[in-house]
A and B are shown apart, each in its own frame.
Chain A
Amino acid sequence: MNSKRLEISVGAFVIAGILALVVLAFNASGLNFARDDQSYFLYARFENLSGLSERAKVSLSGVTIGRVVSIELDTEDYVAVVKMAIDKNVPLTTDTSASILTAGLLGEKYIGLSVGADEETLMNADEIADTQSSIVLEELIGQFLFSRSE
């Protein structure tokens, strides 16, 4: 085989390999190259995250509009502070409430938002005041048992 055809086939092989990586990155992992300037940040304080992790979904009416960026512990009030990146095209009212939900019975944790009726909207670095922590199954069972025994 002459060297030109050999080089072409090797080049095609390497390009196919790199294309495979691109296909995997976009089709399989849904890698999102959206930069930070496409979104704004909101904070929310929760008493208990119970399994919410970084990169978890933030959804509104079942549509994913953002992701959890970071989770920190406020050492003054001992509550978890969650930083979320929200799509810039989705304005949220100031009385928006956030709650930690579970997808299906055993699925992953995500933050569900529901908007209120206010006319003002939340700006970058604002805080969602109305939050509801995740339901902890053990606590629920405990309450149920205590209420039955009385």
Chain B
Amino acid sequence: MIHHYLINAVRRMGINALAVCAGFGRASWFLVQSLTWGKGFKAPFSRLVFQVYQLGVLSLPIILVAGLFVGMVLALQGYHILVGYGSQEAVGQMVALSILREFGPVVSALLFAGRAGSALTAEIGLMKTTEQLSAMEIMGVDPLKRIMAPRLWGGIICLPLLNLMFCVLGIYGGALVAVDMLGIYEGSYWANMQGAVEFYDDIVKGIIKSLVFALVVTWIAIFHGWNAHPTSQGISTATTATVVQASLAILALDFVLTAVMLGGF
């Protein structure tokens, strides 16, 4: 009897492995299909503009407020560490480098996954549950081109822009605390920063990170919506899976990208 139990365990492992493999295959095919537009440019472009509004403009408040407070906290923490070495003037470069390299791309992507990613999954999941996607297919409209492509490209456009605004607010938030509250000389805050920050190495690499996160987060979000079980519980499971998987993907990819960019390996 234990013999049967073992065979069943191996069989279940095999089934699960195949399901994971098939999931990646479906997701990759889905991505390739969704990245390309259908016929006609005018109509898809207005849908893209609407998605930039939905994903970008509506995410602005949370991104800007978060950027401001992250910058302020970094300046406060950095000041109290650096003052022990008598080099509190370096707080500007510390705030700028940590925001441009890490906090900007990562925190804006995490917030984007929670704010916009979950909304995308729920929206598309509900479209599937109410059979709008099947109706489109019956009418001969490819839902991947009509529904997914504008959302995917909207996400890829929005997140890098949100990241840049996050960085600006963070650096000015840092200045607010360091210069106005803690009394660092304004000139050394900005001059130390400008001496340390390189346009390509810090700003452009941050934007590259942000682009990768945008693709991955939006891909995960729309794929989970499209792949959801057409029940109310299915939508809730898919939305949770989006936020969890997107956040983990951001953090893991951030390590890989940082390692590649710093040339540590």
Residues of chain A at the chain B interface (Cβ within 8 Å):
3, 6-7, 9-10, 13-14, 16-18, 20-21, 23-25, 27-31, 55, 108
Contacts and interface: CB of A to CB of B under 8 A. Distances in A.
Interface in B152-186: 157-158, 160-162, 164-165, 167-168, 171
Contacts of B96: 28
A14 B168 CA distance: 15
Contacts, number: 73
Classify the secondary structure of B's interface with A: helix
B53 A27 contact: no
B46 interface: yes
Interface stretch (B13-21, B130-138, B193-201): B193-201
Given A20-B164, A29-B202, A9 B57 contact: yes
A28 B60 contact: no
A25 B199 contact: yes
Contacts of A7: 49
A29 to B, nearest CB: 4
A29 B199 contact: yes
Contacts of B53: 6, 9-10, 13
B203 A28 contact: yes
A17 B164 contact: yes
A10 B194 contact: no
Contact of B167 (A10, A20, A31, A55): A20
A27 B190 contact: yes
